[in-house]
Amino acid sequence: MTISGDSDFRVVIIGGGFGGLYAALSMRRLPIKITLIDRRNFHLFQPLLYQVATGALSPADVASPLRSVLKRQKNTRVVMGEVIDIDISGGKVIMSDGQIEYDVLIVAPGSHHHYFGNDNWEPLAPGLKTIEDATEIRRRILLAFEKAERERDPQIIKELLTFVVVGGGPTGVELAGALGEIAHRALKEDFRRINPEQAGIFLVEGNDRILIAYPPSLSDKAQKALEKKFGVTVLTKTQVIGVEPNRVKIKNDRTENFIPARTVLWAAGVKSSHLGKIITEKTGAALDKAGRVKVNNDLTVPGYPEIFVIGDLANIDDGHGQPLPALAPVAMQEGRYLAKLLGNRLKELPTKPFHFHNHGTMATIGRNSAVADLGWIRFGGYLGWLAWLFIHLMYIVEYENRLLVLVQWAWNYFTGNRTARLITGGSPFPLKKPKIENDATPPEEKERVKD
Amino acid sequence: MTISGDSDFRVVIIGGGFGGLYAALSMRRLPIKITLIDRRNFHLFQPLLYQVATGALSPADVASPLRSVLKRQKNTRVVMGEVIDIDISGGKVIMSDGQIEYDVLIVAPGSHHHYFGNDNWEPLAPGLKTIEDATEIRRRILLAFEKAERERDPQIIKELLTFVVVGGGPTGVELAGALGEIAHRALKEDFRRINPEQAGIFLVEGNDRILIAYPPSLSDKAQKALEKKFGVTVLTKTQVIGVEPNRVKIKNDRTENFIPARTVLWAAGVKSSHLGKIITEKTGAALDKAGRVKVNNDLTVPGYPEIFVIGDLANIDDGHGQPLPALAPVAMQEGRYLAKLLGNRLKELPTKPFHFHNHGTMATIGRNSAVADLGWIRFGGYLGWLAWLFIHLMYIVEYENRLLVLVQWAWNYFTGNRTARLITGGSPFPLKKPKIENDATPPEEKERVKD
């Protein structure tokens, strides 16, 4: 397909995540009309969302208003809308409240969490994909400590002070490490009856090691750091087979067991956007097991040179028979590649197939501790942590957010305090049945008044 | 009443606002056991809440976790709980989920907004008292611009781009000024179809001038600044007599009129806590028209030397026959006074009646513009604004929050950008009925596809 130099050439991008936003930003000099559609009015810096969920950062620190990021990019407009269908023969994106025509369509809707057929677990074990997820998780973690402080029944206190993170990928490791920091540093002196340091934190992973996408030596380093520095109990080769309000059922080889716990966080799986199914039905493109669209090596849908799929929804071979992982760097490079490809099409030039340049992967465990695999070098500990901090700061889109994140990280580092520790949304009451609370009250009195 | 030096002497404080928190903090050296009860886990710096509602600050910047503030104060514990009753003869505070006994009770529950018998207006015209109120107002303001950008009907666009603030007190003035900044600075270049500068902002006040508690010269200055610098239409001597989904009914002398507007913010009245009624019923204390408890000049409830009422719920004469206003400095001084009074009681010393030291009042209108009345001097403009900034920064409880607020103010000042512009909570869809949106589509085509 050839693009004329017509400035009315319409490129529609679905999704303002790493794929969609970097595609739009990279196309700033192309003589085209870009429409970026997102359900939300902001780009979310997902790699730091767990820090919102654990009270270290505020939602706005990891979210950049899309209009603000793109305000001076005159060839681009932002539409806040929800895409419900794609009219491929008509060249139109159908939103819940409107339609937008395209000449080229870039589909980058991201993914959401997946409970492997156990969707009823979701209310008990929230995942971490949106700002609302993060403030809900923050609320549950903090409320568990508040409730434990008020509780007298030792069994219930134990359940309240036990946290289970399901899934040992980077998000699970980061959440577990941050829970360790909350219990052992941030809340250490905050309570009078409970000792937050007695909190139990479990990280449950089905594979034989956490961070399965990393080299085994790094998985090992990460597990040791979680256990020794952050007080996390790592359970590998263990599957979650049930989530109940006050316990998690797990299976290890042939033994079944329960962890008594009232706070469960889900970091185990992602499900592709429903747009994958729509594209497959209308184009005949293949869908993989995870619901991703198998795209050509130029990221087009086979047979449809005007439709591109990038980011979490795209299945493209990594050169070793495996699909590229659902990571921000992959989506960003795909977005930039499309800018180059469309620029070439405008000049009627060919473009080489997409190739992902893997600059390495890293995961942080907590304060002074991270693991990194840059391909040519692997390292962990303090150096890994500094590298992690630096790289994440550099990738935050807005300068002001970089500054705010830096200030809060520095504060947190030196004081151990996490000040975004708000319990918001919904009423936390009633917590439980009435009881007497004054330590000065004699035990008989307590019993009497209780009845 | 005399207090023995007994360290089991129990002081219970209801409310962690300016009154309750400053009472607790000021009693840090007294040999007593303090229990601070609040429904929320944080102290809210209400004077800056309007900046959260208008996207300039994040919720955590104006909220300080109570446990964090009081962590090293060993004579104080924090209980997160909801007080539903007071058992005055039994000396117990009744919570929805427990009871706490007291020897001295300090009641500082604050107030909430008041619709003067029109509670059905609340869903259409939210007030600004909680963090959730602030994020809801932020959501409505930002969504109005988003919807206007998508809208084609000029009448609806006009309604969407008209904002009505009801009530010309400090909060109403600050909200109206901030809306002016949003329209004329922050969002100026963000949209492609609408021009945010065309937004209409109305401030409706029943009295003959805004900021009625200030000297007339300052009211005048504030009104001029709102009108000239921030594009606000100030309607004094005007009453809101109806709030509908797309218009506000107003009455000016004998004329009735409508303002077509879809976003209405309520800053008109406050209602006292229900605890006032409970105290009156059980002690026979008088309640004023606003539902405040008339207290003795030492802030005790008449006949009950162990019960104090402070803050918004207390009616205490200002020396000129008027009750002291519901302002943070009043509540803070009352809290500190109680620490002195209890300290004296411990030593069996008398305490002089409470006297409010008025160090002045100020209100900000927006960037470079505020009015201040310090009693011995009145000023406005840039100087007033600098004084306002400085004083508010100094009163923020946590050092980290001061730093974060300062960084964001500086950023906002130099760039005009407000980065906490997130639309969160609930789904904003569907916005409206389907329509075609590409500017490149010929009008006939648009019509055809619309059907």
- Residues of A designated as active site: 174
Beta-carbon count within 10 A of A24 CB: 27
Same domain, A197 and A291: no
Same domain, B331 and B243: no
Residues 47-86 of B with CB under 8 A from A: 58-61, 63-65, 67-68, 71-72, 77, 79-82
Distance from CA of B448 to the nearest CA of A (A): 12
| CA distance linking residue A1 with residue A225, whole number of Å | 53
**Position A49 pLDDT exceeds 90:** yes
Same domain, B251 and B137: yes
Average pLDDT of span B290-294: 94
Q: What is the pLDDT of residue A427?
A: 54
Structurally, chain B folds into a number of domains equal to: 2
Query: Measured between CB atoms, does A428 come within 8 Å of chain B?
Result: yes
pLDDT digits (tens, 9 = 90+) for A184-210: 999 989 999 999 999 999 999 999 999
Distance from CA of B166 to the nearest CA of A (A): 25
Q: What are phi and psi for residue B162, nearest 5 degrees?
A: -115, 130
Find, in chain A, the residue whose alpha carbon is nearest to that of B152: A98
Residue B49 forms part of a structural domain: no
- Comparing A238-242, A441-445, B326-330, the range with the smallest average pLDDT is A441-445
Residue B414 forms part of a structural domain: no
Same domain, B199 and B85: no
Residues 93-152 of A with CB under 8 A from B: 94-101, 131-132, 135, 142, 146, 149-150
| CA distance linking residue A265 with residue A136, whole number of Å | 11
Q: Domain with A322 in it: what CATH number? A: 3.50.50.60
Residue B436 forms part of a structural domain: no
CA torsion sign, A178 to A395 to A12 to B149? positive
Candidates B58, B82, B150; nearest CB to A58: B58
Query: Measured between CB atoms, does B91 come within 8 Å of chain A?
Result: no
Query: Measured between CB atoms, does A433 come within 8 Å of chain B?
Result: yes
| Coil, helix or strand at residue A450 | helix
Q: Which residues of B touch A63 (CB under 8 A)?
A: 422
Average pLDDT of span B281-286: 96
Residue A413 forms part of a structural domain: no
Same domain, B277 and B341: yes
CB contact under 8 A, B60 and A64: no
Residue A368 forms part of a structural domain: no
pLDDT confidence tier of residue B427, bands split at 50, 70 and 90: low
Same domain, B30 and B160: no
Find out whether B403 and B61 touch, Cβ atoms under 8 Å: no
Residue A103 forms part of a structural domain: yes
Candidates A99, A404, A437; nearest CB to B404: A404
**Position A41 pLDDT exceeds 90:** yes
| CA distance linking residue B336 with residue B313, whole number of Å | 16
pLDDT confidence tier of residue A394, bands split at 50, 70 and 90: confident
Which residue range is the domain that position B287 belongs to? Answer: 10-39+81-113+271-346
Which residue has tokens 């009455």?
A: B251
| CA distance linking residue B237 with residue B255, whole number of Å | 11
Candidates A100, A187, A401; nearest CB to B437: A100
Same domain, A247 and A323: no
Same domain, A128 and A263: yes
Query: Measured between CB atoms, does A434 come within 8 Å of chain B?
Result: yes
Same domain, A94 and A235: no
Same domain, A106 and A128: no
Distance from CA of B111 to the nearest CA of A (A): 18
Share of chain B above pLDDT 70, in %: 93
Residue A300 forms part of a structural domain: yes
Q: Which residues of A touch B423 (CB under 8 A)?
A: 40-42, 80
Instruction: Point out the domain boundary residue: B268, B303, B333.
Output: B268
Same domain, A124 and A218: yes
Instruction: Point out the domain boundary residue: B304, B328, B346.
Output: B346
| CA distance linking residue A123 with residue A98, whole number of Å | 32
Average pLDDT of span A306-325: 94
CA torsion sign, B50 to B56 to B59 to B64? negative
Same domain, B253 and B275: no
pLDDT digits (tens, 9 = 90+) for A213-265: 889 999 999 999 999 999 999 999 999 999 999 999 999 988 999 999 999 99
Q: Domain with B247 in it: what CATH number? A: 3.50.50.100
Q: Which residues of B touch A41 (CB under 8 A)?
A: 142, 146, 421-423
Q: What is the three-state SS of B170-221?
A: HHHHHHHHHHHHHHHHHCCCCCCCCCHHHCEEEEECCCCCCCCCCCHHHHHH
**Position B431 pLDDT exceeds 70:** no
Instruction: Point out the domain boundary residue: A268, A293, A324.
Output: A268
Residue B190 forms part of a structural domain: yes
Query: Measured between CB atoms, does A451 come within 8 Å of chain B?
Result: no
Q: What is the pLDDT of residue A446?
A: 36
- Token duo for residue A156: 């219930």
**Position A84 pLDDT exceeds 50:** yes
